[in-house]
Structure 1
Amino acid sequence: MLTGAGAGASLVAVTPAPAAAQQSADTLQQVRNRGELRIGTPPGEPWFFKDQRSGEWKGIGWGAGVALAEELGVKPVAVETTWGTAVAGLQAGQFDVLFAMDATPQRALAVDFPVQPMFYYALGILARDGLAAKSWSDLDKPDVRIGVVLGTSPDRELTVRLTNAKLERFPNIDEVGAAFVSGRVDAVSLFHPALVMLRSRVKRGTVLLPDPIRAASTSAGVRRDVDKSWRDWVGIAIQSLYESGRIQKIYEEFLAFRGIDPKDAPALVREQWSRT
């Protein structure tokens, strides 16, 4: 996702696609002719996870790709990439789509995004036992220490929102997690899918979404073609995954695979957040 949804997001140079590089071929027809949907798979839970024992890919992004391949009657094929090279990979036609990629103004200069959201995530906290956090104001106290990853969206958001709480900044998720385990911070703030994975590693605390909920959506990146049939179809398809509840099911299946009770994790469907 690479916008602070999980760890500290590195800044990636994006080169706008020149007109000559914008493929005139219909990607949708190419996928059908090839009989394969090539899915970019940058490692990072819960979006993409490669099981080293079986070699199989799992995760929300991979599951969405499998679902779209089923709709098209083609085979899903993983093309390994990184978040740092994903935009260039799309531009070069190395893969057809990358799911769970946030649409940003810089990326939109180079690749296309459907207008429909794939799912939503919210800014939340992993709170120590006994810490009251029904609202953000509950946390805005001088004796509350909150760990964030330096330079991420949560860091910027809470710097403005919480003027009394003590923010402790760390270079990455591993270090902020270690601070939580050692008791150096009372809570960790990240976007909630990353918090769920952190909770599974540290085996303590509760993932909460304080009011008012700060929500953001993610999408899918596709190569910029002159013909927009592929972009538009992907948008309709991911909207169907969201509205049917299948994207939530894919998420819950991955959590169960990683030994996490889905009941302990806020949903990706924002309409369900009031029930968490």
Structure 2
Amino acid sequence: MNTIRTTGARQIPVSKALRTMLKLILLGACVATGINSAISPASAQEPAFASIRKAGELRCGAALAPPFVVRDPKTGAYSGAFSDLCRKFGEDVLKVKVRFVDTTWDDMVAGLQTDKWDLAMSINRTPAREQVINFSTAVLRNDTDFVYSRSDPKLPAQIRSVADIDKPGVVIAVVQGTTDDRAITPAIRQAQILRLPDADSTRLAVISHRADLLADQSEPNLIFQAAHPDWAAIFRPDPPFNLQDVAFGLNKSYTPADLNLLNQFIEQQTKSGFVQTRVDAAVKQAAQSVRQ
């Protein structure tokens, strides 16, 4: 029988069962030490914004979406509510330079996944996109509205319900295949839906009286109305047809700490009125461009 020493001279006999127990305790301590090392802060994933601070640059993926993302065709300078937010977040919060990376909506999500930009600006939050990228809290919400002429004899001067526009002989222009197209199709039973290839075609259809109404997103419709204040009015359905969050997109590597930092910034800028001020300014500027 083996013995184990204490702090004094006395020796205590150690049985085989006790030796086995001591070995198990020692093995458990080693395993616990290994687990603690694996989850220690030193080896945890570094927040993405910490890496961006080290790199000294925040890259904002930019696809045109007036009045949220606007690009001056002469200077290439970006403005609009999301452009101004991205710039302010990079310069004031992260303390880095901000670079806008030109892209298209077809490439926006893929660019996030392949690290071509750090934030995607003005991207609608959809279930399909949530499977592959993260989203910030909503900067604002968008819906499908209708622009029409107050003098159109087929329509009341003030439209109050969908029933006022869903009548035989009324023509509604919409860009084919968009979320607006999918939103109005189930609701419109009697009016004709005129599906056209792009937004310019739908606006021209209303201006030329080929169509009576234009179905489009809320903010672009605000620009269209502001460009034609003498005749254009907006009908906003209640309940909404196509209400969606418009937010920043981030790739899946961003940590909860990253999202919390960005979300707190967005909430502060929303409460302060900064977001609405920048939307209003961009709508006014875009409307002036349309009139010129």
Give the TM-score normalised by structure 2.
Answer: 0.73
After superposition, give the CA deviation of every residue in 1:85-111 in whole Å (9 maximum; x if it has no partner): 111211122221112111223222322
User: Is there any run of 5+ residues in structure 1 with no aligned partner, and where?
Assistant: 1-23, 262-276
Cα gap change, 1:259 to 1:47, in 2 (>3 Å): same
Residue 147 (structure 2) aligned to one of 126, 134, 139:
126
After superposition, give the CA deviation of every residue in 1:36-90 in whole Å (9 maximum; x if it has no partner): 2211111232222221333311112201112212233322221222211111211
1:259 & 1:218 partners in 2: Cα distance?
21
Letter in 2 for 1:31: I
Residue 168 (structure 1) aligned to one of 176, 190, 194:
194
Q: Alpha-carbon deviation of 1:196?
A: 2.5
Task: List aligned pairs for 1:249-264, cutoff 5 A.
Answer: 249-259=277-287
2:94 & 2:141 partners in 1: Cα distance?
25
After superposition, give the CA deviation of every residue in 1:105-159 in whole Å (9 maximum; x if it has no partner): 3222322113x21101122111112332122221121132211112222222222
Tell me the equivalent position of 2:135: 113
Q: Alpha-carbon deviation of 1:249?
A: 0.8
Task: List aligned pairs for 1:171-250, cutoff 5 A.
Answer: 171-199=197-225, 204-214=231-241, 215-225=243-253, 227-250=255-278
1:29 has 2:50 as partner: yes
Tell me if structure 2 keeps the 8 A contact 1:61–1:98. no
Give the TM-score normalised by structure 1.
Answer: 0.77
Cα gap change, 1:241 to 1:92, in 2 (>3 Å): same
Task: List aligned pairs for 1:145-164, cutoff 5 A.
Answer: 145-164=171-190
Tell me the equivalent position of 1:17: none
Cα gap change, 1:149 to 1:175, in 2 (>3 Å): same
Q: Alpha-carbon deviation of 1:166?
A: 2.0
2:288 & 2:161 partners in 1: Cα distance?
25
Residue 161 (structure 2) aligned to one of 118, 135, 155:
135
Cα gap change, 1:149 to 1:259, in 2 (>3 Å): closer
Cα gap change, 1:227 to 1:155, in 2 (>3 Å): closer
Tell me if structure 1 keeps the 8 A contact 2:124–2:244. no
> RMSD of the alignment, in Å?
2.4
Tell me if structure 1 keeps the 8 A contact 2:62–2:102. yes
1:48 has 2:69 as partner: yes
Q: Which of 1 and 2 has higher RCO (CA within 8 Å, sep 6+)?
A: 1
Cα gap change, 1:52 to 1:184, in 2 (>3 Å): closer
Larger CA deviation: 211-220 vs 196-205: 196-205
| Structure with max Cα Rg | 2
1:210 & 1:188 partners in 2: Cα distance?
13
Tell me the equivalent position of 2:88: 67
Task: Count matched residues.
Answer: 238
Tell me the equivalent position of 2:13: none
Letter in 2 for 1:212: P
Letter in 1 for 2:61: G
Query: SS where residue 258 of structure 1 aligns?
Result: helix
User: Is there any run of 5+ residues in structure 2 with no aligned partner, and where?
Assistant: 1-44
Cα gap change, 1:216 to 1:260, in 2 (>3 Å): farther
